[in-house]
Amino acid sequence: MNCARNIDELQEKLDGVYDLLKVDDCRKMIDVLLRSILDKSNCLEQTQNQLKMLALMVVNDNPSARDKACEVMAGSGKSKAELMDFLMGMANTMKEAEGMTNKQIVSEVTDMIWSGLDISSRESAVLGEMIHRMKGYSSYSE
């Protein structure tokens, strides 16, 4: 795909459709770009969730995991070995997380996951509440 690398190249590609010197056209273009970014983000999140479910199925020796793996492989463009390595890596990571103590989990979440979130986001609030509850309900000293 031939992408524009600067505003002049973009204006050339949009010639006759949008004029980037007009505010209304700029707003329309920004709107299109934001929708495109959101769509890609949603698609990526959906794909990651499907891969996590597939990894769970592989870990749990679910009989339909093979069929699902074939579906994913058909659409991924990856070789069988690459896909299997990815799925096994994901499954091993999940097993490592299961073996962590409560203290290690809280530490990992606060240091690696929570620190990258916007403090006013819903995700940040949910993680904060989860950590608060976990500290209250379990023996944090594990």
> CA quadruple 51, 53, 57, 62: dihedral positive or negative?
negative
Cα distance between residue 39 and residue 72, in whole Å: 20
Q: What pLDDT, in 10s, does the model give residues 25-68?
A: 888 888 888 888 888 888 888 877 777 777 777 667 776 766 76
Find tokens 């990651």 and name the residue.
48
Q: Name every residue whose Cβ is closer than 8 Å to that of residue 80 and which is 6 or more positions away in sequence.
A: 73
Q: What pLDDT, in 10s, does the model give residues 55-67?
A: 777 667 776 766 7
Cα distance between residue 120 and residue 117, in whole Å: 8
- Using a cut of 0.75, tell me whether the model's pTM lies above it: no
Neighbours of 116 (CB within 10 A): 8
Annotate 56-77 with DSSP letters as a single string. HHHHTT-TTHHHHHHHHHHHH-
Cα distance between residue 31 and residue 123, in whole Å: 25
Q: What pLDDT, in 10s, does the model give residues 58-102?
A: 667 776 766 766 666 666 666 777 777 777 887 788 788 888 887
